[in-house]
Chain A
Amino acid sequence: MFEARLLQASLLKKILESIKDLVESANFDCSPEGISLQAMDGTHVTLINLVLRNEGFETYNCDRSLSLGLSLVSLSKILKCAGNDDTLTIRARDNESDTVTFVFESPKNDRVSDFEIKLIDIKNEQYSIRKSDYSAVIKMPSAELQRICRDLSIIGEIVTISANKEGVKFSVSGDSGSGNITIKPTSDSDVPAEQATVIESKEPVVLNFALKFLSNFTKATPLSPMVTLSMSEGIPVVVEYKIDDLGFLGFFLAPKIE
């Protein structure tokens, strides 16, 4: 028996928003420690890594690991039925079950809806992701990144991100012209530490990425006010959104080579 109760159903809704356009279906791997999801898009360019730890749930009950393979399209449709302040309970019987139940309850407890979704058996692999030592780690407001991506995608398809101690430059060039946006570390002491842009740079890095994917990642902006970009030459960038108390949603994106 698996049961997990989340105070805000909208949280899962927000998560889904950012990943449903990257992969069509994915396994929610539930273990006593929490729920995790790893999925790679068909072109092997990006990897989604979602971790929701058990302690962030209102109640969490899992005695045996199980995978819930779900069509993300169906799931996001069902999540649309949840009110913004509803709580969510995910319930699955055991490993052999072929459905999962989502229960939404309104805050005043006057409305309870439950949905059963058929599971899909997805054959995939899981990867252990080690913390690696990045050349540059940029922490910045997530809305800022979203805006940069939106602005630059007007001009071109590939963004070059160059980071050093002084700042991070996002540059794009396209048929109609080119553009650069540079972000500098916050120097204003009035800004609270948790909202400040911080750049930790060991050595300068320059990488190219498909803007299309980055823009897609920024759909996760509502999850967290801040986002972290970790970069090193020749390996994928990690764009990570912290989810308060619960875990994080990370996106790995392979750089483009000329």
Chain B
Amino acid sequence: MKRSIVTGGGNNDKKFKAQPPPKNNYRGGGDDEEDDEFEEDDDEDEGDEFGEEEDEDDIDVENIIASDSMDIDIQDDGSQQLFLWSRKPVQDLVPHKKPLIFQQLEVDYTEIKEPVPGMPGPKVGPLPAIRLFGVTKEGNSVLCKVHGFLPYFFISCPPGFTEADCKSLKHDLNESMKMSSNQSNEKDIENIVVSIDIEKKKSIMGYNPNPLSDFIRITLILPKFVTRCREIFESGRHHFTIPGQPFRQYQTYESNILFALRFLIDKGITGCSWIELPANTYKLSETPVSTCQIEVDTSLETIISLSDDDSPAPYRILSFDIECAGRKGVFPEPEKDPVIQISNIVKNNGDAEPFIKNIFTLKGCSSIVGAHVIPHKREEDLLREWRKFVIKVDPDVIIGYNIVNFDIPYLISRARQLKIPEFALLGRIKTTISKIKSTRFSSSNLGTRESKEISMPGRTQFDLMQAIQRDHKLTSYSLNNVSAHFLKEQKEDVHFSIISDLQNGTDDDRRRLAVYCIKDAVLPMRLLDKLMILINYTEMARVTGVPLSYLLGRGEGIKVLSQLYRKAMVENFLIPTYKVTGKGEKFQGAIVIEPTPGFYDTPIATLDFTSLYPSIMMAHNLCYSTLLSAEEAKKLPPEIYTTTPFGDHFIKSDTKKGLLPRILEELLSARKKAKDELKNEKDPFKRAVLDGRQLALKISANSVYGFTGARVGKLPCLEISRSVTSFGREMLDKTKKIVEERYTIANGYKHDAVIIYGDTDSVMVKFGVKTVAEAMEMGRDAAKFVTTTFIRPINLDFEKVYYPYLLMAKKKYAGLYWTKPDIHDRMDVKGLEMVRRDTCLLVRNVVSTILKKILIEKDLKSAEEYTKSVISDLLQNRLDLSMLVITKALSKTQYKGKVIHNELARKMRARDPATAPNLGDRVPYVVIQGSKGAPIYEKAEDPLYALEHNILLDCQYYLDKQLKAPLIRIFKPIMSNPDLIFHGEHTRTIAQSTLSDNNKGFFGTLKKKKVCMNCPKELTDTESTTCINCQHKEASLYQTSLEKVTSLETKFSEAWTQCQRCSGSLHQPVLCSNRDCPIFYMRTKVQLDLIEAKKTLNRFNVEW
């Protein structure tokens, strides 16, 4: 091991200065002294490690030395980089004098063999220990092991069971647990059942006016025993009887909650909150098991949650991307294809710029401005060094694009293939190997998704692709498309089939690849910032109380459940564990007031129920704990309960206020508070946090309804959800009635008000007034009046005026959105092809342009003209191909019948397996002309192929199947005969199939006839442009031809420079084949058009 002192460099050199040689060995951030001996514990002396009297200067040097020990294989310039990687050393950690405060990001638990002395809980192991991973304000990584927390659940107490019976139950249950065990090591555990207690509780299900009753609380030694113990009580399979009781099955309570979440709930800790360990309540671990800088043991009793502190810690975010050299035609497989590059971007949360930007390459690579290139000769070294890098940098959050399903599993599998066992030690626990697990995640909202789960204790994996898929509806989730959509930036796409060629090329070729690879790591980081994903998710974690990693990996239900448990605990309610069957009758959802389609050139006021479903639940006190059965209701005086329109009964809030209404109240008032604070806050970062919070609160409040209606959820209660929707329907009808009855000429108003449309929580009212200001006035008045007829907190709010308003069908409308009387805010479009993803760009563009013309310019004539011109361009093959590309995801290998994109994928595979789409890819296609009556799947073609072979698209298909329906829908309320748009003069000029010069195929022997440029007459050998009859037109034909060439040339060079800029190089050919990029298609098409146009021009044979 060589020891050298290095001087700092880069932007961090203020922090690390050259220092005198070290005296002691000191643990730096994430340092992992000897990589080969990963199983061995770090047996340094505690006192030295966090010595309080240590001179600060020495600490720095030690850190450098520690990092230096790693650069054996790395070139000399790497060492400078290496110590920039580590975290700042720990300062000022004095367990018996000062508290330890940190923000926790990850929570899990582990089993420890022996109890830690001085900690609460059983005195013999094995025991569970909760692990909180986090970061201090100074940016030091922390592992806090909390001892003394044990899993437990409840069963209802049978009559006659008393304190005295607890002991024998404990004994019997313990025996039964041991009996049912089939693992030998469990037999050694003396007490699986730790204790049996009787507690005063109440079930949350159904209204129960009685005082609290007895429940038996069963505490077990390890979380893994809970399920089996629950089985013993629930199934009756083990014929277990409680001493002195007849045999029966028992309902269990709170027996299926995740152990780590149970801990957070019991201690009142929310996700991503700050934790304080007061002075003298924690101690440094004697034998650290993690690579965290600070590792402490503490007791369950003394840990404090600082829930008020909402500042984010400077946690480290690593964004990375890998490149693999695939073989032709197959998607890279870790068993065969090497990893050739890994790019990394590391940033501290809250900083504007990353402080590490580097790339690990296989073989040499030319230098890249602004990034550190670290070349390796062997792939094994590349992987080993990268892992050292990760451990050294010690990221709290790992992000990237599709890393969970591709990059991380690939790296781990590849390392296994290359026999690098230590590679999988990517987490913070020194001995825990990261494993890949396949999971299926289904939700009604997102559909079924197969994904992988990688265990990596202490580091939160945050896959941007999953986050964006969850939160946004896009046509394609490729990084190209996502970044084009959010960052307005196209990126070069190097198809994986040419990666190998680049890798086998020169240093410069690999540099190109590296630039591309780095971009793929930069973009996720930028997306994270731009969409404020981490901030919003952190706030969501705080609001709902679940750890950050649950938000992406699990469904919506866990968030509501976490809140419900928290509230229930305070009230001594118990939540029963139900076996969910997924069955249950369907009930009618939201209601729509039938729209009266038309183009409204008068202001339309929109009245909305604010937070409709939450407010219904609050107003009518709908909750698990207020539900009455029909029989119970009969016994009660009718004035103390509500009968919902569906016929269910709930007790009113003055008798007993429900839990859900209270949760909702808190969420909504917290949201109001956050919104108020947001108004006054100036600091952009704090604003982002507040905005994220109010959003999280809103989503949470709305998801409560869904939770009660989720038939496969944890605690479904259809009585609640169907009552909510039935109230919603009733309210909408009532609003319509009131408004139409009150605002009439008979009542002294100028016009009769009409409700032209209503959906779920909003009604559109045509008051008949002429100006936006008047409509607003009346809208406010109506909202106020209608609100008084409903129970608080149901609130009808006047929100906006649409003027003009184009109502096409239910959930399909467009209008200008006014909140102020003087100027409109924006154009609002709902349910039109503009926002749908299964249409081509042309439809979206045309629809949005037409709407702009109709609504903003109020020029119907020009909208019509524009539409005709587009149709004419379409028929003459003058449109950009990118406009006509339709994409569909290839989501399964077997389709029933012949499906367009699957057939095309098959066709492409036969042509060239290297570039054909694979499972999971979105397949772009265009529809080409085929023989008459040919099914559509035969007419689908790869856009690029169609372009290169000059295959004519099926204009009629685009016209009839793509454009027609949406356009007719728009024009129908405006024009008497919208069909005219699709016929008439502008459809009379069309392009016909011709052979392109680069692909004549079998007709290669055919020669183009030289015909006159003005008429179809064939030319004689002496004539080159026109026949004698048309000679007078030659000059003007030349002009047109020249103009065409010039304009195409300009267009092409524009497209080309754009591509060069995107690929970051001005003197190399553009390799990109990004099929999501409109410029790519444009460039190719213009190129072909230009060749044709030049040929025409050349016929003039003009000599200067």
Task: Report A's interface with B, CB cutoff 8 A.
Answer: 21-27, 29-31, 39-44, 47, 64-67, 69, 95, 98, 118-130, 132, 212-213, 216, 234-236, 252, 254-255
Contact = CB atoms under 8 A, between A and B. Distances in A.
Contact of B1017 (A26, A31, A234, A235): A31
B1008 A120 contact: no
Given A65-B1012, A130-B1007, A42 B928 contact: yes
A122 B990 contact: yes
Contacts of A235: 1002, 1005
A65 B376 CA distance: 72
A132 B1007 CA distance: 13
Interface in B1001-1017: 1001-1003, 1005-1009, 1011-1012, 1015-1017
B583 interface: no
Instruction: Please list the 7 inter-chain residue pairs (A to B) with the smallest Cβ-Cβ separation, ordered nearest first.
Output: A42-B929, A65-B1017, A254-B1002, A121-B989, A124-B992, A126-B1009, A127-B1006
Contacts of A27: 992, 1016
Contacts of A22: 931-932
Contacts of A120: 988-990
Given A44-B995, A122-B989, 11 more contacts: A22-B931, A25-B990, A41-B929, A44-B949, A65-B1012, A67-B1015, A98-B988, A126-B1018, A128-B1006, A212-B931, A235-B1002
Contacts of B992: 23, 25-27, 39-40, 122-124
B990 A123 contact: yes
Nearest to A68: B1016
Interface in B984-1002: 988-995, 1001-1002
B602 interface: no
Interface of B: 876-877, 928-933, 949, 951-952, 954, 956, 988-995, 1001-1003, 1005-1009, 1011-1012, 1015-1018, 1027, 1029
Given A67-B1016, A120-B988, A212-B931, A42 B954 contact: yes
B997 to A, nearest CB: 11
B1008 A125 contact: yes
A39 B1006 CA distance: 13
Contacts of B995: 40, 44, 125, 127
A56 to B, nearest CB: 20
B1003 A42 contact: no
B1029 A64 contact: yes
B1029 to A, nearest CB: 6
B1025 to A, nearest CB: 15
A127 B1008 contact: yes
A6 B994 CA distance: 30
A116 to B, nearest CB: 14
Contacts of B951: 42-44
A107 B993 CA distance: 39
A31 B994 contact: no
A64 B1015 contact: yes
Contacts of B991: 122-124
B606 to A, nearest CB: 47
Nearest to A121: B989
Contact of B1016 (A24, A40, A126, A234): A126
Contact of B988 (A31, A118, A132, A254): A118
A65 B1016 contact: yes
A132 B1005 contact: yes
A242 B714 CA distance: 79
A42 B1027 contact: no
A23 B930 CA distance: 9
Given A43-B931, A44-B1003, A235-B1005, A124 B1015 contact: no
A38 to B, nearest CB: 8
A105 to B, nearest CB: 28
B993 A42 contact: yes
* Residue from A29, A30, A44, A234 having most chain B Cβ neighbours under 10 A: A44
A24 B1017 CA distance: 23
Nearest to B941: A43
Contacts of A255: 1002
A54 B264 CA distance: 95
Nearest to A38: B1009
B295 to A, nearest CB: 68
Nearest to A33: B1018
Contact of B1006 (A43, A47, A122, A123): A47
A125 B1027 contact: no
B1007 A47 contact: no
Contacts of B1018: 31, 126, 128
B988 A21 contact: no
A25 B1011 CA distance: 20
Contact of A42 (B933, B952, B1012): B952
A61 to B, nearest CB: 16
Contacts of B1006: 47, 127-129
15 contacts: A31-B1016, A40-B992, A41-B931, A43-B928, A43-B929, A44-B995, A44-B1003, A67-B1015, A120-B989, A121-B988, A121-B990, A122-B992, A123-B990, A127-B995, A130-B1005
B755 to A, nearest CB: 47
A177 B1015 CA distance: 52
* Residue from B929, B954, B1005 having most chain A Cβ neighbours under 10 A: B1005
Nearest to B956: A24
Contacts of A41: 929, 931, 993
Contact of A124 (B994, B1001, B1027): B994
Nearest to B1004: A235
A31 B990 CA distance: 22
Contacts of B956: 24
A234 B988 CA distance: 37
Contacts of B933: 21
Given A42-B954, A123-B990, A47 B1003 contact: yes
Contacts of A40: 992-995, 1003
Contact of B1015 (A21, A66, A212, A234): A66
A40 B930 CA distance: 11
A26 B992 CA distance: 8
A39 B990 CA distance: 13
* Residue from B932, B1006, B1009, B1011 having most chain A Cβ neighbours under 10 A: B1006
B845 to A, nearest CB: 24
Nearest to B938: A43
B1007 A127 contact: yes
Nearest to B1011: A126
Nearest to A46: B931
A122 B990 CA distance: 5
A123 B1016 contact: no
B1008 A29 contact: no
A95 B1029 CA distance: 12
A41 B994 CA distance: 9
A252 B1003 contact: yes
A236 B1009 contact: no
Contacts of A67: 1015-1016
A229 B1020 CA distance: 31
Contacts of B1009: 125-128
Contacts of A42: 928-931, 951-952, 954, 993
Given A21-B931, A27-B1016, A43-B928, A125 B994 contact: yes
Contacts of A119: 988
A184 B1015 CA distance: 47
A132 B991 CA distance: 29
A65 B1012 CA distance: 10
Contacts of A124: 991-994
B1008 A126 contact: yes
Contacts of A65: 1012, 1015-1017, 1027, 1029
A42 B929 CA distance: 5
B807 to A, nearest CB: 36
* Residue from A22, A40, A132 having most chain B Cβ neighbours under 10 A: A40
A69 B1016 CA distance: 11
Contacts of A47: 1003, 1006
